[in-house]
C-alpha cells in the first residue's frame, strides 16, 4: 500500500466490476480518528485505529483517545486482536529488498514491538490472522505482479504449511492493487479490496494451490484492514477519506 500522497493516483470513480451480493451495511455514526488510514480493530471496551506509523486506542464508551504507540514504525497495515493484544502487519513497502514483520501492540503497556520477523518474505505482509491453531499471513504484490499475492498457512512457530494464490477473477478486480485485509468468517475468508467497497468471500480448497471464489459482497468500507467486532458480532473497518472508524452489520 502506498503513502497517502501516492494513493490518490489510484483512487478512481466506480468500484468492483463483480456482481455484489447483499453483505454488510454501515451501522451507527462511527468514530473520527486521524489515525484511521490503514485499519481498525475492536474489543468489548476499546477501539483501535491504525495508520502507517501509529496504533491508537480509544475508549469505546466515550470515544476518548487513551493512548498512541510511540515506537517507530514505517508501514503498518491490518490489525488483529488476539488475547487482548493487537497484531499488525508491518513492512517497508515500497522499498527493496522487502522486509516484513508482525508487530504487536500491548494496550496495557502502550508498547509496539516486533512479534515475528519474516526472513526473505515472499512479498509485503499486509494482513495476518490466527485461527486458534495456525497463523494465516497474506503477502502482497502490486501492479503487473499482483497475481503473485499469496496467502500462507503457518504454524505457531511460523513454519510454512501451505500457500495459495488468489482467484483470477478477484485479482482482475483489484485495480492493479492487492488484498488489503482479511479475516475468517466461519469456514471461509472475507478479504477486502484496497479502495473498493467490496468483500470477497473465499475458501481454502481441499486440493489445489488457488483459493476458491465464493461470492463478492457489498460492504461500507472502501478498502483497507477489517476486523471482527466482538461486541456487535459485525465488522469494523475504516473510511480513509473521512478518517473514520466504521461499524458494519450483516444485511438481514
Q: Taking 90 as the threshold, does the pLDDT of residue 84 lie above it?
A: yes
Helix (H, G, I), strand (E, B) or coil at 171: helix
pLDDT of residue 11: 40
What DSSP letter does each residue of the chain carry, written as one string? ---HHHHGGG--SS---SPEES-EEE-S--EE-TTTTSEEEE-SSEEEEE-SS-EEEEETTT--EEEE--S--S-EEEEEEETTEEEEEEE-TTSSS--EEEEEEETTTTEEEEEEEESS-SSEEEEEEE-SS-EEEEEE--GGGGGG-EEEEE-TT--EEEEEE--HHHHTTSTT----EEEEETTEEEEE-SSSSEEEEEE--SSSSBPEEEEEEE-S--SS--EE-TTTSSEEEEETTTTEEEEEEE--
246 phi and psi, to 5 degrees? -120, 135
What domains does the chain contain, in order, with CATH numbers?
A: 17-250 (2.120.10.30)
Q: Taking 80 as the threshold, does the pLDDT of residue 4 lie above it?
A: no
Q: Taking 50 as the threshold, does the pLDDT of residue 134 lie above it?
A: yes
Q: Which residues contact 115 (CB under 8 A, 6 or more apart)?
A: 87, 101, 102, 103, 104
pLDDT of residue 150: 98
Of the pLDDT bands very low, low, confident and very high (cuts 50, 70, 90), residue 14 is: low
For 198-250, the pLDDT digits (tens) are 999 999 999 999 999 999 999 999 999 999 999 999 999 999 999 999 999 99
Average pLDDT value over all residues in the chain: 94
The closest of 77, 5, 90 to 48, measured between CA atoms, is 77
Average pLDDT of the segment spanning 137-163:
98
For 43-65, the pLDDT digits (tens) are 999 999 999 999 999 999 999 99
pLDDT of residue 243: 98
pTM of the complete model = 0.93
pLDDT of residue 8: 34
Average pLDDT of the segment spanning 28-40:
97
Percent share of the chain, pLDDT over 90 = 94
Average pLDDT of the segment spanning 148-164:
98
Of the pLDDT bands very low, low, confident and very high (cuts 50, 70, 90), residue 163 is: very high
Amino acid at each position: 500500500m502506498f503513502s497517502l500522497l501516492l494513493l490518490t493516483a489510484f483512487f478512481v470513480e466506480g468500484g468492483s466490476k463483480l456482481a455484489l451480493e447483499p453483505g454488510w451495511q454501515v451501522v451507527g455514526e462511527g468514530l473520527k480518528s486521524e489515525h484511521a488510514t490503514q485499519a481498525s480493530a475492536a474489543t468489548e471496551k476499546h477501539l483501535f485505529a491504525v495508520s502507517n506509523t501509529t496504533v491508537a486506542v480509544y475508549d469505546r464508551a466515550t470515544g476518548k483517545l487513551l493512548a498512541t504507540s510511540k515506537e517507530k514504525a514505517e508501514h503498518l497495515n491490518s490489525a488483529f486482536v488476539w488475547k487482548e493484544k493487537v497484531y499488525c502487519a508491518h513492512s517497508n513497502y515500497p522499498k527493496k529488498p522487502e522486509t516484513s514483520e508482525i508487530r504487536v501492540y500491548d494496550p496495557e503497556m502502550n508498547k509496539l514491538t516486533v512479534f515475528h520477523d519474516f526472513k526473505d518474505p515472499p512479498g509485503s505482509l499486509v494482513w495476518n490472522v490466527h485461527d486458534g491453531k495456525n497463523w494465516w499471513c497474506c503477502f502482497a504484490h502490486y501492479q503487473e505482479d499482483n497475481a503473485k499475492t499469496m496467502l500462507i498457512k503457518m504454524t505457531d512457530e511460523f513454519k510454512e504449511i501451505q500457500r495459495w494464490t488468489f482467484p483470477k477473477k478477484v485479482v482482475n478486480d483489484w485495480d492493479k492493487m492487492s488484498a488489503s485485509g482479511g479475516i475468517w468468517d466461519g469456514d471461509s475468508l472475507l478479504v477486502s479490496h484496497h479502495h473498493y467497497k467490496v468483500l470477497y468471500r473465499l475458501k481454502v480448497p481441499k486440493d489445489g494451490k488457488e483459493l476458491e471464489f465464493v461470492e463478492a459482497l457489498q460492504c461500507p468500507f472502501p478498502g483497507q484492514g477489517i476486523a471482527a467486532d466482538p461486541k456487535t458480532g459485525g465488522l469494523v473497518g475504516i473510511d480513509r477519506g473521512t478518517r473514520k472508524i466504521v461499524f458494519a452489520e450483516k444485511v438481514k
